Structure 1
Amino acid sequence: MRVLVVEDIALLREKIVEDLKRAGFTVDSAADGAQGLYIATEYPIDIAIVDLGLPHVSGIDIIRSVRAKGLDYPIVALTVRERWESKVEVLEAGADDYLVKPVHAEELSARLKALLRRKTGWTQAELCCPPIRLNTSEQRVYIDEREIILTAYEYRVLEYLILHAGEVVSKTRLTDSLYEEDTDRDSNVIEVFIRRLRLKLDPDEVIKPIETLRGRGYRFTLERTNP
């Protein structure tokens, strides 16, 4: 999943970016409100973390602009203010959650994952599409009770497909979820990951969990059993 971090304090921004990458997210970042607004409205973002006290363009204005453009990805606001009036203003502007600095890495990661699950219709940390289970907290994958060992990128591709189970997900969309904007991208890398996933998840081609739709993308075909 691709996260945007908009924070003007360099040390804090770098720490958040590092923590999120360690937690398995793809991260874009911006050091001021103007740059953050551009990325927030022009890049294929899945979720954003926006500090309110930004130079050039305020965090509140970024949130309002994102919503005005009809973009509905989740947004978490960061601030040093704890007054309830501030929280109301942020939520009414269109934010989905609110954190007061200092930010703890585990809490931030957990909130982001919960918001992303909710956005795609899941409510629990374990995503069940029998016989496949994916635990988003532990980043582990099981077929029935047998754990399947995946690389970090294989896991991220599978997690994205399961979160959007039943949807057609384009190759471009999958690539955008894996790599920051300035990363060199191999157009065939998604095909490689999909092939590896099929071999690991379904070596005998019995359950056929990932469908290829020529010219359109991929679809995770197994039905979810938990909301």
Structure 2
Amino acid sequence: MSILIVEDELRVRAFISRGLTEEGFRVRESVDGAQAQEMMRHERFALIILDWMLPGLSGLDLLRALRAKQDTTPILMLTAKDAVADRISALNAGADDYLIKPFAFEELLARIRAILRRVDNRATPLLSHADLTMDPTTRKVVRAGVEIPLTAREYALLQFMLEHAGEVLSRTRIVQAVWEHDFETFSNVVEVYIRYLRTKVDTPFATKLIHTVRGVGYVLRSRP
């Protein structure tokens, strides 16, 4: 599940990004509205955290532009503006929620999860392959009726593989999607976490789902 942070203040952006990554979300970052628009042309996001005061195209203008195109991606507005009129403007423009700076990360996370629950209740299906199921709403992973506890990073990796089940994923692509870093920086991290996942998702079961494609990467499928 990917979240886009559109925030020009490096300190705030890094604070949110670090916290969400630790919670198992895949995070993408943008410093202004124009860059965010370009990213949205190529990627889909589960939610956008959008700062109001951005250089160039403001967050409110970006919000209005997205809603004018019938883009229903959930949007949580962040701003130092605390007047009732400002909150009304953001909500009337199509924001799903509004959080005033400064804020506690715990409140931000709670609001994000509340928004995602509302969206999930409308449409989001379970992710599944063979006898493995992941519920993005509850973050519960079950295989053959057995619940599998995962760390935040293991969950993010498995979610990415489930979203692309049957597709061979290169190590570079996995690192960029799950860790948001260049492959060279995390040269062996994929192997380490694939091993962790196999121990939990495959080892206790007869049918193995996580397979290595030599020289290419990994694939989630029910056949070798």
TM over 0.5: yes
Match of 2:16 in 1: 16
More helix by share: 2
Inter-partner Cα distance in structure 2 for 1:49 and 1:8 = 12
The amino acid of 1:107's aligned partner reads: E
Summarize the alignment of residues 169-208 of structure 1 with structure 2, pairs less than 5 Å apart.
178=178, 180=180, 183-184=182-183, 196=198, 199=202, 203=205
Match of 2:117 in 1: 117
Secondary structure (helix, strand or coil) at the match of 1:37 reads: helix
State the number of aligned residues: 198
The amino acid of 1:75's aligned partner reads: I
- TM norm structure 2: 0.65
8 Å CA contact retained: 2:143, 2:201: no
- TM norm structure 1: 0.64
Change (3 A) 1:169 1:41: farther
Quote the offset at 1:12 in angstroms: 1.2
Change (3 A) 1:4 1:170: farther
Match of 2:98 in 1: 98
Change (3 A) 1:103 1:144: farther
Residues 120-156 of structure 1: per-residue CA shift (max 9 Å, x gap): 217xxxx9x9x9796967x665679975233544423
> Mean Cα displacement is larger for which, 151-160 or 47-56?
151-160
Match of 1:65 in 2: 65
8 Å CA contact retained: 2:60, 2:93: yes
Inter-partner Cα distance in structure 2 for 1:76 and 1:70 = 17
Change (3 A) 1:169 1:105: farther
Quote the offset at 1:81 in angstroms: 1.3
Higher relative contact order (CA 8 A, sep 6+): 1
Consecutive unaligned residues of structure 1, counting only runs of 5 or more, are 206-216, 219-227
Inter-partner Cα distance in structure 1 for 2:13 and 2:86 = 22
Match of 2:50 in 1: 50
The amino acid of 2:87's aligned partner reads: K
8 Å CA contact retained: 2:160, 2:178: no
> Mean Cα displacement is larger for which, 75-84 or 110-119?
110-119
Inter-partner Cα distance in structure 1 for 2:20 and 2:60 = 23
Change (3 A) 1:18 1:198: closer
The root-mean-square deviation of aligned C-alpha atoms, in Å, is 4.3
Consecutive unaligned residues of structure 2, counting only runs of 5 or more, are 184-189, 208-218
8 Å CA contact retained: 1:6, 1:49: yes
The amino acid of 2:103's aligned partner reads: V
Secondary structure (helix, strand or coil) at the match of 2:76 reads: strand
Change (3 A) 1:84 1:67: same
Inter-partner Cα distance in structure 2 for 1:133 and 1:20 = 19
Change (3 A) 1:170 1:58: farther
Quote the offset at 1:157 in angstroms: 5.6
Percent identity (aligned): 34
Inter-partner Cα distance in structure 2 for 1:74 and 1:87 = 16
Residues 158-186 of structure 1: per-residue CA shift (max 9 Å, x gap): 66899x9xxx99889xx797464x755xx
Change (3 A) 1:41 1:71: farther
Match of 2:215 in 1: none
Change (3 A) 1:177 1:76: farther
> Mean Cα displacement is larger for which, 143-152 or 16-25?
143-152
8 Å CA contact retained: 1:8, 1:30: yes
Change (3 A) 1:42 1:66: farther
